[in-house]
Amino acid sequence: MSASSAAGVASAHRIRVLRALGLTPWVRRAATAAPTFEVEPAPNGTGVACVVVLPEQCSARELDLLGRALSAGGAWLARAARLRVKAGQLAADVPVAQAYLVFGEAQAHALGRVLPATVMNQALIVLADEPSLVLGSAAAKRRLWSATRSLRRALATTGD
């Protein structure tokens, strides 16, 4: 008997023994390749569905809270492109989107300086509180929940 078949027999025997004892055998999964992130086009083909504009400095706790809130808002919000404002300017080119979720008034001003007027008139722009305020205030969390809910509804109606 070869070493590989002996290992298979020992593995099968181990699984039978564990099941007889009432235990569920667990098998470690093989490592998968790192996920690649792509900006998904909007349902109507006009660019991306949603862009989230964040301040430059966000702590890990703030980003975790925002990630959970966006995930609760649905797939379009969870996969939304995220841009950061540095020194009052957007760090990257802003894609044309159906909706923009902006965290903080300074970020809204930076977005307004970059976006053309036609894009601003056609897009839904929702202003939410700064992430640090959302982390510490129940009222800010309620406003963020309302913002994500309105974005989810808007993206759902344009997706049909």
Coil, strand or helix: which one is 85?
strand
Q: Are 83 and 52 in contact (CB under 8 A)?
A: yes
Q: Looking at domain 48-159, which of 2.40.128.110, 3.40.470.10, 3.50.50.60, 3.40.30.10 is its CATH number?
A: 3.40.470.10
Residue-wise pLDDT for 96-138, tens only, equals 888 899 998 999 999 988 888 888 888 899 999 999 898 888 9
Residue-wise pLDDT for 6-47, tens only, equals 566 678 888 888 888 888 777 777 655 544 333 344 444 456
Residue spans of the domains in the chain: they are: 48-159
| Nearest one of 106, 111, 104 to 90, comparing CA atoms | 111
Q: Are 134 and 128 in contact (CB under 8 A)?
A: yes
Q: Are 120 and 112 in contact (CB under 8 A)?
A: yes
